[in-house]
């Protein structure tokens, strides 16, 4: 069976994993999902594989690092020998593949690195899973809503069966990885599930991403860079809601299926900044704290996805944007040194951030 779009009231028998290999578990989303699963299902063994890149930290899972069912392995998913060793040694029956290069801005200048990690890394994991196919019962591949390309119509919500049309190197690398996953489902009957998610925010996210970057800059009294005119729209989902979505997909998801993970709530990038200005009580300084910079080479205007399939498994969004934004802001302000020196992460993309307004850049 090939990957199919989900059906609204689809049901499945609950799956009970015994040993999970979670890649990218020291990163933002992966660590939150991993901590959630370890704390909720202490009888399930969890193996974290992460190379500890610049945007990852062992701090992200410190609350479970001494848990009897948790193991951390430092290493690269592109290392075939290591991946095969881990899957074989720990008798892994479930792979949850979060590890990826994910910052769109960086992909415009380092696209080969994105291909190496996102495509070759995924392929390496698939080969290892195929080599241990008699013990692998789930392979959950974490993708992104950006593989669909932008949603042009106000009423258009992308569904899992829609064609993929990525517009930037990051999204293209994730789409390529998806096709590898689909091919291993078709050719080798690997028990795969694919997820495609909206933007995620919350505590512990490396501050190169929009929300923690703006929080960090406003806390320092510095202006925030907005691409273009700030009108591009995004849907944001709080990270704990995402962790619960993966819990549901892991237990109830149907093999061979794709699930969108997202929110109906949309807001412009400028709107996000205005919400944060309100939380900092800096609305009166908007003019001096907003700095418009040159846009990306191509910037999708909006993504809007249909989540009926995931909701049919029993998942619901719980944390609304205003509430999650307040929680996130308070977390970062209480831990200003969590990521060490982050000054290099607080600029717009190097090709964009000249320190001048858009009008000045055009001259």
Residue 8: exposed, middle, or buried by beta-carbon count in 10 A (0-12, 13-18, 19+)? exposed
**For residue 330, is pLDDT > 50?**
yes
In this prediction, residue 110 carries a pLDDT of 73
Q: Mean pLDDT throughout 59-71? A: 97
**For residue 359, is pLDDT > 50?**
no
pLDDT band at 361 (very low <50, low <70, confident <90, very high): very low
Of residues 354 and 274, the one with the higher pLDDT is: 274
Least confident segment among 65-69, 176-180, 242-246, 355-359:
355-359
How far apart CA 348 and CA 264 sit, in angstroms, is 27
The CATH architecture assigned to 210-232+265-302+318-362 reads Alpha-Beta Complex (3.90)
Q: Mean pLDDT throughout 7-20? A: 73
How far apart CA 189 and CA 293 sit, in angstroms, is 48
Rounded percentage of the chain residues whose pLDDT exceeds 70: 87
Under 8 Å CB-to-CB from 276, ≥6 apart: which residues? 211, 214, 215, 218, 325, 329
**Predicted model pTM:** 0.91
The answer to whether 219 and 339 have CB atoms below 8 angstroms apart is: no
The answer to whether 10 and 313 have CB atoms below 8 angstroms apart is: yes
**For residue 148, is pLDDT > 70?**
yes
In this prediction, residue 158 carries a pLDDT of 85
In this prediction, residue 355 carries a pLDDT of 43
Examine domains 4-201+238-261 and 210-232+265-302+318-362 and report if their fold is the same. no
pLDDT band at 228 (very low <50, low <70, confident <90, very high): confident
Task: Dump pLDDT digits (tens) for 268-320.
Answer: 999 999 999 999 999 999 999 999 987 655 555 567 899 999 999 999 999 99
> Active-site residues: which are they?
145-146, 170
For the record, the structure tokens of 174 come out as: 């994730």
Q: Mean pLDDT throughout 119-144? A: 97
Domain positions in the chain are 4-201+238-261, 210-232+265-302+318-362
* Domain spanning 4-201+238-261: CATH 3.90.730.10: no
Long-range contacts from 214-222, C-beta under 8 angstroms, 24+ separation: 214/272, 214/273, 214/276, 215/276, 215/328, 215/329, 215/332, 215/333, 216/332, 216/342, 216/346, 217/346, 218/276, 218/277, 218/280, 218/282, 218/289, 219/280, 219/332, 219/333, 219/336, 222/289, 222/346
* Angle CA 235–324–160, to nearest 5: 30
Strands (E), 165-223: 192-197, 199-201
Long-range contacts from 103-107, C-beta under 8 angstroms, 24+ separation: 103/55, 103/170, 103/208, 103/209, 104/146, 104/168, 104/170, 104/171, 104/296, 105/208, 105/296, 105/348, 105/349, 105/352, 106/170, 106/208, 106/349, 107/168, 107/169, 107/170, 107/173
301 half-sphere exposure, CB direction, 13 A CA radius = 6
């Amino acid at each position: 069976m090939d990957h199919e779009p989900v059906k609204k009231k689809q049901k499945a028998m609950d799956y009970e994993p015994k040993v999970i290999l979670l890649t990218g578990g020291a990163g933002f989303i992966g660590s939150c999902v991993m901590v959630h699963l370890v704390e909720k299902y202490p009888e399930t063994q969890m193996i974290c594989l992460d190379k500890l890149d610049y945007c990852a930290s062992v701090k992200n899972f410190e609350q479970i690092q001494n848990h009897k069912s948790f193991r951390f392995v430092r290493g690269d998913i592109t290392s075939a020998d290591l991946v095969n060793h881990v899957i074989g040694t720990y008798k892994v029956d479930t792979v949850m593949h979060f590890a990826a290069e994910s910052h769109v801005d960086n992909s415009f200048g380092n696209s080969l690195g994105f291909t190496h990690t996102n495509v070759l890394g995924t392929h390496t994991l698939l080969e290892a899973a195929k080599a241990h196919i008699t013990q692998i019962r789930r392979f959950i591949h974490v993708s992104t809503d950006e593989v669909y390309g932008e949603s042009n119509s106000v009423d258009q919500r992308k569904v899992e069966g829609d064609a993929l049309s990525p517009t930037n190197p990051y999204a293209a690398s994730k789409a390529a990885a998806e096709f590898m996953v689909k091919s291993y489902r078709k050719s080798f009957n690997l028990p795969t599930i694919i997820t495609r998610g909206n933007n995620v925010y919350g505590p512990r996210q490396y501050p190169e991403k929009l929300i923690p970057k703006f929080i960090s800059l406003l806390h320092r009294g510095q202006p925030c860079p907005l691409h273009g005119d700030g009108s591009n729209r995004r849907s944001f989902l709080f990270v704990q809601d995402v962790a619960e979505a993966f819990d549901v997909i892991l237990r109830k998801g149907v093999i061979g299926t794709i699930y969108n993970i997202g929110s109906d709530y949309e807001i412009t990038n400028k709107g996000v900044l205005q919400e944060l200005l309100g939380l900092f009580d800096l609305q009166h300084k908007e003019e001096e704290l907003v700095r418009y910079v040159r846009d990306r080479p191509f910037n999708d205007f909006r993504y809007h996805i249909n989540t009926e399939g995931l909701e049919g498994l029993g998942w619901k969004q719980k944390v609304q944007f205003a509430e999650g934004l307040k929680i996130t802001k308070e977390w970062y302000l209480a831990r200003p040194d969590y990521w060490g020196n982050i000054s290099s992460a607080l600029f717009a993309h190097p090709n964009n951030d000249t320190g001048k307004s858009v009008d000045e850049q055009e001259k």
